[in-house]
Structure 1
Amino acid sequence: MTANWGAFSAAEPTLASLVEERFGAFTHHVLATLRRDGSPRTTGLEVRFLHGELWFGMMPDSLKALDLRRDPRFALQANPGEGTSMGGGDVRIGGRAIEVDDPAAKAAYVKEVEPPEPFHLFRTELTEVVRTYVEADTYLVVEAWKPGGPVRTLRRT
């Protein structure tokens, strides 16, 4: 089961807002894709939250774009920032990236983002969103969401 960003935001607006804020704190984040042999590949990536979708734009024929064309599964981690405070917590999103070839959709993205052209454009289908943070210097808190269910919160001492 998957959901787009808009469905997640409607189902869990508080967590969605925190996740967007965390990704908005920095420009570059870390994307994990799967190589042809199944091993992981991590690369930097800029992301956009626009019109109810989480978008990935990539240079033509970049290895991460080729990975996603072959196997759309991904994991995305927000840039943790400088130092060790990780203000806002550690945020990760898992899902599938679907390449967008529709000229109207790409034109709308270009109008908003003004990326260098040509480029690959992917919209995402989420399979999980996870936020981990420390509460009151006592608890490690993990908030996890999967489509079709509520946010589950786990606290560990």
Structure 2
Amino acid sequence: MTTWPEFTAAAPSIAAVFSRRMAATGNLCLLATVRSDGFPRISPIEPRVFEDALWIVGMPGTVKFRDLDRDPRFCLHTATVDSMVGDGDAKLWGIVHDVQDRALQARFADAVFEEIGLDLRGTEFRPFYAADVTGASSVAYLDGHLDVTIWRPGAPERVVRTQ
């Protein structure tokens, strides 16, 4: 599994855009999953970076989590409100792993409470997904050009510039 520090070291430009956009929207992202009929589903989610991992956690029993139970592949896209992407946007894709560690979940709930005041302490999270990032990209509009930065594990970021 790619830890968050490994991802940010290997793809610093994409990680910076992803983190900046998450901070600007209160962690709001769009999660793409695969429905049981094979079509894509897009759902809002507020992922969190905690203890060197990206966590995809939310209300249990939702269809997005049933999708991930069946097919762990995902794409996570930062919320974009500017059609000119002046502040950029980013996408991460990979697979999730359900981590059933009560002590870790308790620390996570404590951190969420300290960060935003949402009291999830004492909650048993099922599922509690850690995201293994297997690829990422970002876009940024710079100096009249759209730069698309792409990353895959084992390779450096590469930039494709469009006119």
Residue 59, structure 1, aligned to residue 59, structure 2: yes
Mapping 1:1-157, distance limit 5 Å: 3-27=2-26, 28-81=28-81, 83-114=82-113, 116=120, 117-119=123-125, 120-137=127-144, 139-157=145-163
Provide structure 2 residue ranges, at least 5 long, that are not aligned to the other structure. none
- Asked whether the equivalents of residues 94 and 133 of structure 2 are also in contact (C-alpha less than 8 Å), the reply is yes
Alpha-carbon deviation of 1:32? 0.5
- Asked whether the equivalents of residues 60 and 118 of structure 1 are also in contact (C-alpha less than 8 Å), the reply is no
Query: Aligned pair count?
Result: 154
Report the 3-state secondary structure (helix = DSSP H, G, I; strand = E; otherwise coil) of the residue aligned with 2:103.
helix
Q: CA RMSD in A?
A: 1.7
28-37 or 83-92, which moves further after superposition? 83-92
Alpha-carbon deviation of 1:111? 1.1
Counterpart Cα distance in 1 of 2:150 and 2:11: 11
Report the 3-state secondary structure (helix = DSSP H, G, I; strand = E; otherwise coil) of the residue aligned with 2:17.
helix
- Asked whether the equivalents of residues 14 and 137 of structure 2 are also in contact (C-alpha less than 8 Å), the reply is no
User: What does the per-residue CA deviation read over 1:97-124, in whole Å, with 9 as the maximum and x for residues that have no partner?
Assistant: 1112111111111111135445432110
- Asked whether the equivalents of residues 105 and 124 of structure 2 are also in contact (C-alpha less than 8 Å), the reply is no
User: What does the per-residue CA deviation read over 1:12-39, in whole Å, with 9 as the maximum and x for residues that have no partner?
Assistant: 3343233211121103211000111211
Report the 3-state secondary structure (helix = DSSP H, G, I; strand = E; otherwise coil) of the residue aligned with 2:87.
coil
Report the 3-state secondary structure (helix = DSSP H, G, I; strand = E; otherwise coil) of the residue aligned with 2:133.
strand
**TM-score of the superposed pair, with normalisation by structure 1:** 0.89
One-letter identity of the residue aligned with 2:128 = L
- Asked whether the equivalents of residues 33 and 41 of structure 1 are also in contact (C-alpha less than 8 Å), the reply is yes
CA 1:134–1:87: 2 relative to 1, 3 Å: closer
**TM-score of the superposed pair, with normalisation by structure 2:** 0.86
